[in-house]
Amino acid sequence: AKEAGRNQLFFFDPLLQAETIERALLVRDLRQALEQDELVLFYQPIVDAQQHIRAVEALLRWFHPKHGMVLPGKFIPLAERNGLIVPIGKWVLETACAQLAEWQQDPEREALVIAVNISARQLSKTNFVDTVKSVLAQTGARADRLMLEITESIFQDNVNSTITKMDALRQEGVRFSLDDFGTGYSSLTYLKRLPIDHLKIDKSFVDDIFEDSSDIAIVHTIIALAKNLEIDIIAEGVETCEQMEWLQGNGCKFFQGYLFSHPLHPDKLNAILENTTLL
């Protein structure tokens, strides 16, 4: 009787059921989102110490016909679970590279870099290198303007084959940064072997640099480590001048966060770039 009671409770839990249904519906809609042009790639500026825009990070937005704008935190994990991240990720690459190709026509914008988030599931595909190469070839984007952001979750896969792929793309000129650094499955040994150009310090550390002394110690360690490996640091989630000054004073070269700009619709970004002298 106890068993049955528990099962019943599970089966009829209205909250749980609503959540499961909502998720299932979202997955169904996500399958159509690509075909129906509901995905838009926003861009958030990454600036240097002079606050000049040096790069932008491509961040997905889904304009759902009923729910309005859906943030990636809500649908990327679903897409990763069911494999939809692979076609979605390809669309992201194509869209970002098409934007790069457009900027390359303009000597003022030509140096801008686009950083694209790559999930471990995409990188683990055997044809990942060919996919990136063919998108670059088809759009005409310069490989050295493309930066791929990977996370420590790639360490859960076959590290050697990952490094081989990264090396192959790096030969083409593509650059890599390690995202959310310090939050995941860190391995300093791997870090040394990975062909990366930038480390992104996670927002959670930036948030706490004036509050949490253990986080200050971690940030100092990350900066020292990066210097040692000759890797530049990007601080993400910078929201205040005080954070920016502290980070700059302690050796960070690049900054990203609401202090400078929210992620922008491409039209808005391009309007801002029209009125800004770069570099």
The residue among 32 and 171 lying less far from ligand C2E, judged by its C-beta, is 32
19 Ramachandran zone, left/alpha/beta (phi>0; psi -120 to 50):
alpha
3-state secondary structure (DSSP) of residue 51:
coil
Question: If contact means CB under 5 to 8 A according to the sort of partner, which of Ca ion, ligand C2E, none does residue 59 touch?
Answer: ligand C2E
Q: Segment near ligand C2E (CB under 6 A), from 27-35, 85-93, 104-112, 136-144?
A: 85-93
Contact pick of 239, 266, 270, 278 for ligand C2E (by CB under 6 A): 239
Q: For residue 132, give the nearest of 102, 174, 195 by alpha carbon.
A: 174
Contact pick of 59, 143, 147, 222 for ligand C2E (by CB under 6 A): 59
Q: Which of residues 109-168 bind ligand C2E (CB under 6 A)?
A: 117, 119
The residue among 85 and 154 lying less far from ligand C2E, judged by its C-beta, is 85
The residue among 134 and 250 lying less far from Ca ion, judged by its C-beta, is 250
- Residue 111: phi and psi, rounded to 5, are -85, -10
Query: Residue 117 gets which letter from DSSP?
Result: E
Q: Give the orientation angle of helix 159-172 with respect to helix 128-139, to 10 degrees.
A: 20
Q: With contact defined as beta carbons under 8 Å apart, do 118 and 79 qualify? A: no
What's the min distance (Å) between Cβ of 76 and ligand C2E? Answer: 5
* 201/235 Cα distance (integer angstroms): 5
Query: Residue 240 gets which letter from DSSP?
Result: S
Question: If contact means CB under 5 to 8 A according to the sort of partner, which of Ca ion, ligand C2E, none does residue 45 touch?
Answer: none
Query: Residue 144 gets which letter from DSSP?
Result: G
Task: Extract long-range pairs of 100-105: CB within 8 Å, 24+ residues apart.
Answer: 100/139, 100/141, 100/142, 100/145, 100/146, 101/139, 101/140, 101/141, 103/145, 104/140, 104/141, 104/142, 104/145
Question: If contact means CB under 5 to 8 A according to the sort of partner, which of ligand C2E, Ca ion, none does residue 219 touch?
Answer: none
Residue span 91-130 as binding mask against Ca ion, x where in contact by CB under 5 A, dash where not: --------------------------x-------------
Q: Give the orientation angle of helix 2-12 with respect to helix 14-33, to 10 degrees.
A: 40
* 265/259 Cα distance (integer angstroms): 17
Q: Is 243 in the site for ligand C2E (CB under 6 A)?
A: no
Contact pick of 23, 27, 40, 72 for ligand C2E (by CB under 6 A): 72
Contact pick of 141, 162, 237, 255 for ligand C2E (by CB under 6 A): 237
Q: Would you state the torsion angle of the CA atoms of residues 139, 145, 151, 155, taken in this order, to the nearest 10 degrees?
A: 80
Q: Segment near Ca ion (CB under 5 A), from 81-89, 160-168, 172-180, 182-190?
A: 172-180
Q: Is 152 in the site for Ca ion (CB under 5 A)?
A: no
Q: Is 184 in the site for Ca ion (CB under 5 A)?
A: no
What's the min distance (Å) between Cβ of 249 and ligand C2E? Answer: 19
What's the min distance (Å) between Cβ of 199 and ligand C2E? Answer: 13
**Residues engaged in binding ligand C2E (CB under 6 A):** 44, 58-60, 71-73, 76, 85, 89, 92, 117, 119, 179-180, 236-239, 256-258, 263
